[in-house]
Amino acid sequence: MEEDSFGSRKGKNMARIGEDASGGGRVRWGILGTGRIATKFAAELKRVERLGGSSVAQAVAARELERSERFAGEHQIPHACGSYTELLERPDIDVVYIGLVNSQHYPVCKEALLAGKAVLCEKPFTMHPSQSDELIGLARQRGLFLMEGLWSRCFPVVRAVRDIIHGKEYGAVTLAEFDFGFIGDLSPQGRLMNPALGGGALNDVGIYPLTLSQFFLGPIVEFQAMATLSPSGVDLRVLVNARHESGALSRLAASIDTITQKEGNLFAERAAIHIPSPLWKPPLAICRIHEGQRGSTPARPPTERRIEGAYGGNGFEFEINHVAECVAAGLTESPLMPLEETLQTALLMEKIRKECGIAAPGL
195 with 275, same domain: the answer is: yes
Closest Cα to residue 96, out of 49, 141, 42? 42
The DSSP code sequence of 164-206 is HHHTTBTB-EEEEEEEEE-B----TTSGGG-GGGT-SHIIIII
236 & 172 share domain: yes
Beta bridge partners of 239: 226, 253
- Has residue 109 been placed in a domain? yes
- Is 214 in the same domain as 351? yes
Residues 161 and 146 in one domain: no
Together in a domain, 323 and 297 = no
- Alpha-carbon distance 14 to 331, whole Å? 8
Number of domains comprising the chain = 2
Question: 199 and 78 in one domain?
Answer: no
- Indicate if 87 and 174 belong to the same structural domain: no
Would you state the pLDDT for residue 189? 87
- In a domain? residue 7: no
**Residues written for the chain:** 363
Q: Give the DSSP H/E element, type plus range, for residue 352.
A: helix 339-356
**Which amino acid, one-letter code, is at 4?**
D
Burial code (b: 16+ CB inside 10 Å, e: under 16) for 325-343 equals ebbbbbbbbbebbbbebbb
Can you give the CATH number for the domain in which 262 is found?
A: 3.30.360.10
The verdict on residue 227 lying in a domain is yes
Tell me if 199 sits within 8 A of 115, measured CB to CB. no
Do the beta carbons of residue 138 and residue 132 sit within 8 Å? no
Same domain, 135 and 101: yes
**pLDDT 10s digits, 13-26:** 433 444 443 456 79
CATH code of the domain in which 94 resides: 3.40.50.720
Is residue 338 domain-resident? no
Closest CA to 217 of 292, 152, 268, 259: 268
362 within a domain of the structure (yes/no): no
Looking at residue 295, its pLDDT comes to 84
Distance CA 286, CA 308 (A): 9
With H, G, I as helix, E, B as strand and everything else as coil, classify residue 25: coil
For 25-66, the pLDDT digits (tens) are 799 999 999 999 999 999 999 999 999 999 999 999 999 999
Supply angle C-alpha 66, 70, 73, rounded to 5. 140
Contact residues for 152 (Cβ-Cβ < 8 A; gap 6+): 158, 208, 211, 212, 215, 279, 280, 281, 282
Taking Cα atoms as reference points, which of 230, 227, 226 lies closest to residue 199? 230
3-state SS class at 209: helix
Residues 215 and 324 placed together within one structural domain of the fold: no
| 279 lies in the same domain as 192 | yes
Look at residue 260 and tell me whether its pLDDT is greater than 60: yes
Tell whether the model's pLDDT for residue 5 goes beyond 80: no
pLDDT digits (tens, 9 = 90+) for 75-97: 999 999 999 999 999 999 999 99
Instruction: Examine the pLDDT at 6 and tell me if it is beyond 50.
Output: no
Residue 5, domain member (yes or no): no
Judgement on whether residues 162 and 305 belong to the same structural domain of the protein: yes
Q: What is the pLDDT of residue 17?
A: 44
Alpha carbon distance 266, 354 (integer Å): 28
- The percentage of the chain sitting over the pLDDT mark of 90, rounded to a whole number, equals 89
- 169 and 300 fall within a common domain: yes
At 319, the pLDDT band (50, 70, 90 cuts) reads very high
- The parent domain of residue 249 ranges over 156-310+345-356
Is 234 within the bounds of a domain?
yes
pLDDT tens digit sequence for 200-242: 999 999 999 999 999 999 999 999 999 999 999 999 999 999 9
pTM over 0.85: yes
pLDDT confidence bin for 363, thresholds 50/70/90: low
Question: Distance between CA atoms of 276 and 257, rounded to whole angstroms?
Answer: 21
Under a CB-based contact definition with an 8 Å cutoff, are residues 202 and 195 in contact?
A: no
1 located within any domain: no
pLDDT of residue 63: 94
